[in-house]
Copies of this chain bind each other. A is one copy, B any other.
C-alpha cells in the first residue's frame, strides 16, 4: 500500500497528467486517484487495472518495480565472461549481483556448429543482430537464414535452434530477458 500510491503518482506526473486527466482516461473518479496516491485507499484490482491501462503499463510491469540495480557497469572485451564451450562461444555481459533482468551476449559460431537437434525452450524473450557471417535460425516451424545486419526476436518458450552452415564463422550480438542460465 505504501509503495503503491507513490508509484502511481510517479507514473502519472511523469506522463504529464493531472489527477483529473488520468481519472477521466481511466474511467474512475479524481478523488479515487488522490486517495490512492496518499495511501488512504486500498483499490480493487479492477480499479488499479483501469488506472494502469490509462498509464499504458501492465499489472505485471507495475508489480515488478522492487528489484533495482543501482550502478553502471563497464566491461572491457577481455572481461566478458566466456560461458561457451567448444566451437560456439558465448561471451556474457554479467554483473556478479544476479538481480539484472537484461542479458547481453557476444556470440561466435564456428563454421558447421549447431545448438543441436534437441530444440531449446525456456522462459523469457530473446533476440539478436548478426554482425558478420550467416546463421540459420529455426523457431517453431519457421527457418530463416540471416546475414549481417539481419535480426530476429521471439519468446524463448518457442522451441528454437541455431546453426552455422556457412564456411566462415558467424558473429552476432544477442539479448534476452530475463537471464535464464
- The reply to whether B63 and A93 form a contact with Cβ atoms under 8 Å apart is no
Given contacts A93-B127, A175-B102, contact A155 B1 (CB under 8 A): no
Return the CB mask of A116-159 against B: 1 if under 8 Å, else 0. Answer: 00000000011111010000010110101011111111110110
A63 to B93, CA, bound (A): 26
Interface flag for A167 (CB, 8 Å) = no
Copies of the protein in its oligomer: 2
- The reply to whether A77 and B149 form a contact with Cβ atoms under 8 Å apart is yes
Interface flag for A96 (CB, 8 Å) = no
A102 to B32, CA, bound (A): 33
A72 to B147, CA, bound (A): 17
A93 to B101, CA, bound (A): 19
Closest to A173 in B: B173
